[in-house]
Each structure stands twice: as C-alpha cells, then as structure tokens.
Amino acid sequence: MSRLQKYSSYVFTIYASIHLTNTSIIPLVTQSVPAAEQYLLLTRPIYQSFPLEPLLVTLPVATHVLAGLALRIHRRNSNLARYGAAQVHVSKGFEERLEVWPPVSWISRAGYTLVPLVVGHAFTNRLLPWIYEGGSSSVGLGFVSHGFARHPVIAWIGYAGFLGVAAGHFVWGAAKWRGWLPHGNNEKARIRWWALNAISVLLAGLWMAGGLGIVGRGGRASGWVGKGYDELYSKIPLLML
C-alpha cells in the first residue's frame, strides 16, 4: 500500500506540473488571460482526453487517497494485534487509551483537507460543464476569471486555501518519499524544517502570482459567453444558497 501511495503521487505530479504551467506560469509570463488561454488549448488534449485524464488524474488521486486510508487501517490492526486484541471487540475508549490508531501527521491532515477542495474544483471545471453542456471545451482560464469577478469572496478564499494547502502537501509529501523530513530537535532538523516551509511558501506564491494575480483579476466575460458562464455558476450548490 505504501508503494501504491508513493508512486501514484509521482504519476499525478506529471499532471500537476502541466497544470501549474498552464494556470500560473504562462499567465504570469504573458500577463494576459486571453494569451495564456491559447497555450491552455494547445495542451488540453494531452491531459483532458481518454485515456490520459483517467491515467494521470482520476486513477492516481483515487489510489493515493484510498491507499492512505488502507495504510491507517492496517497500522491500527497491527497495533491491536500487538496488544493481543485483534480478534475481539474493542471499545472506542479502549482504542483511545492504547492509541491504536496511528497519529495523523500534518501531511495527512493537509491531504484530507485537499480531498473536498479537489473534488469541488473538478466538479466546477470538469463535471458541471459536462453535465450541462456535454463537455468542458468552453471552460478555461476565462471561466475562472469570470468566477472571480462574479463571486470574489468565495473564489479568493477557496482558491487561496486550495493552493496554499496543496503546495504544502506536495512539498512535504515529496520530502517524505525522499527521506528528507526533519527528525529530532537538532540543527539539521531545524534547517530542513525551515527549508521545506520556505519551498512551500515559494511554490504557493508562484502558483498564486499567476493563478490569482493574473487569472483571478482577468474580469468578467461579456456577451453570450458571459451568460453561459453565469448559467454554469448558478448550478453550483454553494452559490445557490
């Protein structure tokens, strides 16, 4: 299970790198949503087509999350076996006193936080257009810019939280797989702790600079395109309240 969780994250990194480039780096370089949109259209067939999308996105993410949950259950059962209670009913209080469940690390907490954020992002940008328009060919950076302009509070809070948590999870998760996590209370551990946090902040800053600073400030779409975007956003449960 540990290998499944590890290597599924490596596969997803391929998609994440392309997505980061399209949604942040290119907009940051071009300083224009319409100009960056052209590059997005060129690369979209690479990772938004069958079978690449399931192989690079859906399957790795599902495998990563499920493998992590399976590992926690396995370690819990191993701890119970160590206490000789694997074959009997164990009360919640007994589990808490013996601490049979493994502790939830910050990396895991960030990962669990990302699950609803990723699902919401995929629902808004992929599933919703597919349900109501039969596909997401009309949804790109302009759609995101329109959402920021129409629903600024939700968009800014949601995307800033999403990118911040994602950056931290990616950096610290990669450090875990490479054996670079800080351990103990010594100078080397402190240097690693600061270095990983600095890299996380830099990655989040880069992602936000293009994603929020350029795309987030791109403004509303006009005409029938803007009306189509409004119609899609009106179907999002959170925005219907």
CB 15 within 8 A of CB 49: no
pLDDT of amino acid 145: 95
Beta-carbon contacts of 110 under 8 Å, excluding residues fewer than 6 positions away, are 165, 168, 169, 172
Q: How do residues 80-114 score in pLDDT, each as one tens digit?
A: 777 665 444 555 555 455 567 778 889 999 999 99
Segment among 90-94, 149-153, 156-160 with least mean pLDDT: 90-94
- Out of 30-34, 45-49, 90-94, the most confident range is 30-34
pLDDT of amino acid 197: 96
Looking at per-residue confidence, does 33 or 46 come out higher? 33
CA 72, 73, 74, 80 dihedral sign is positive
Span 62-90, average pLDDT = 76
Give the relative orientation of helices 152-178 and 187-211 as an angle to the nearest 10 degrees.
140
Q: How far apart are CA 212 and CA 206, in angstroms?
A: 10
Instruction: For 180-196, give one letter per residue: b (16+ CB within 10 A) or e.
Output: ebbeeeeeeeeebeeeb
Domain count, the chain: 1
Span 192-204, average pLDDT = 96
CA of 154: how far to CAs of 68, 89, 150, 197, in Å?
Answer: 30, 45, 10, 26
What is the residue range of 45's domain?
Answer: 2-240
* Token representation of residue 19: 């997505």
User: What is the overall mean pLDDT for the chain?
Assistant: 87
The enclosing H or E element of 230 equals: helix 223-233
What share of the chain in percent tops pLDDT 90? 55
78 pLDDT band (50/70/90 cuts)? confident
CB 182 within 8 A of CB 192: yes
Phi, psi at 51, each rounded to 5°: -100, 10
Q: How far apart are CA 96 and CA 91, in angstroms?
A: 9
